[in-house]
A and B are shown apart, each in its own frame.
Chain A
Amino acid sequence: MQAGLTALLHDAAVLHRFSDFLEEYCKEQERSQRYVDASGDFFKYTEDLAREIKLELRRDIERTSLFPPRIAASRTASLRRKMLTLKDYLRLLHTLIKPAADAHTLSIPAPLINLACDQLRQIEGMGDSRIVVLLTPQLMYFQRPHTHVKQQAALVEKFVPQVLFPKKLGFIELPYSQGPSFFTNLAIYHEIGHFVYEELPSLPSSNASFTALGLARDHALMEFPRLRRDRQVRALAEKILESWTQEIFCDLFALRLVGPAFSFALVEILGMLGSLSSEAMVTFDQEHPAPACRFAEQVRLLRQDSWWDAIAHIEPEQKKLLERLAKTPRAKYKVYAGDERGPEALMRPFLDSIIPAIRNLVRQVTPDAKSVAKRFRETRRVIEDCLEVGVVPHAKTATPLDPVSIINSAFCFYLTKLPKIVTKFEGGAAERNVGTRSKWTGKLEDWTKKAIEDSQIRRQFERTRRDGPL
């Protein structure tokens, strides 16, 4: 056998073994744990792809060894390029498979994930979207940009056309420590916003508003003559504005889907990360607008959508903080890039012309939230009454409780009435016991998850009762 072919055979065998490992690993996960549908689809895709890659490699090597030496040399070179593409892609999948395998239904709030995915699919143009949850060692929530995965997958599809990357598949990372908790995981709605933002160019509902947002950003950049001259600085400015835009878009997107509970969850997370100092609150960095600016936008939207009136009855510290931050004068905002003062000039056009365009875009993309706030007002009392006596929230009528109302009522209850229920069942002294409070927070989260799950089961049951089994 020729030397080139021997080396190729060796490398192909290594790739074959790598594919084999990934295929077996995915199969093993599905045998031993349960996953939300999207993860199952992702594992199945990886298994199919790995299997096809192995077949393809065997066929390629067989064919190449039959060619005469001169042709075989060029054939070997093109096969090497192909193998490199496959290897790169498998390496990318490798980084996703393990955190996806960790995120089985016992380690994530599956009812919340299922609900969020249902809501996502109701958005026009997002009907076949699915979200794979990944558990990450980072103490932060993150959406893995799926466009990159899709692009890589498209390259591989040229060689393995039998296996197609699932349409509109997103990847969202949750900190593994927060996996089973409920309230902080409402942050996934923000990450789903990033997924939708990447899909915006293809959404029919957002065409005009998305173009308007792009124009607003271009206008903002035109205001600075220096940017026209210096391409590097312009690229940096574009990147910063794009990041700020996405963050505000995702916050408002999350609010429209899940209401004020998202803002409360964000306060919890920022508190956990130690980002609630007065200095940090007014500081824009290269990726995020200042929390004060983000909360100001959130409060504004909550007022417009009647949510603010709907939660007028509660006054927890978190709500007061939101109010206080929303009132922070813009003059106090600062921009930091690393340790140094950053491009503050970008802030004014961002606040004046880009944010209004984002608000408009969010309104176009997301469903009306006023009716959701109205349902919350109507059912809040019922839900709180149940929680107060340690019972999973439920309705006595045939209409199941709205999951968004359950989430918001439970969060308001958690912020204002947790001590009451601790005292009621554990006695007065327990109220000051941190361990006991933590235990009851867990119970409250369990009842909320169960209520959402039950509401979905009830909805499905009522549909079947009405329309008959499909």
Chain B
Amino acid sequence: MARFAVRRLANMIFVLFAISVITFLIFNVIPSGDPALRIAGRQSNEVTRAQVREDFGFNDPVYVQYLRMMEQTISGDLISYSNRVNVREELVRGIPATASLVIGAAMIWLFFGVLFGVLSALYAGRAPDRLLTVLAMVGISLPVFWVGALLLYYLTFKVTLFPAGGYVPLTEDPASWFSHLILPWFALSLVFIGFYSRLLRSNMLDVMNEDYVRTARAKGLSERRVLVRHVMRNALIPIATLFGLDFALAFGSGAILTESVFGLQGVGQYVADSVGNLDLPPIMGTTLYAAFFVVFFSAIVDIVYARLDPRVRLNP
């Protein structure tokens, strides 16, 4: 276990390092426009731009620039090129909205994904299964921002049931926080509910054919006990793995589309804005932040996986 943790930590650091280099190179080597022009403004003359290049160290060798940026990233002094705002502060400011969105949606998609998956498997081939299958197939075919747009049009404009986008902090007004988040939660969780219920259905059907389930029935366990203790326990393992990664991806920045449709001003929105401006420091900061979640949760998932399924060994 300790050896696993050390190896895994080394791997995490290496992957994050590689990601930071790639991100840096994408925006430096690819001719994506002169950052000096962006800082000095379009009306600037060549003298100011040369001054900016000198001040910001754009004339230094690439590796010096990279090291300087990483030093700033780690110490939290990373400053945006375009509006001179501290990247860490902006990120921290976005976290409550993103966390509210993703944690709420994750609870919804996990609950309904498992519920529908179990119902589908129990009624396999019969009417409830068919209905749920149709719903799941439609669910996984919906672009999230389009669903968001439709919800906004029909439920906030045509019929004023919900507030039209935006985020209200939980500490300010819990009721308003909740009503502002209902539609984003729904939109974000739809696709996942579809995926999870399909996956759980097929896992459960596989497990139900296993010999040990027949044994459990044969020794006279109640159907409920067989289902909960023997079938569900095994069928849920892949779901647990997947949930860890999906949650990490969504938390990192995967909810960009949902946040931008509903104007939630979270981390994803910040990413979208800074990428749109080709503003390297926030892009670097948010990419590493997002990648950290993925790498960190993958490690957690591996440990949980080994706990849930004793057949799996943690060999680094």
A is bound by B: no
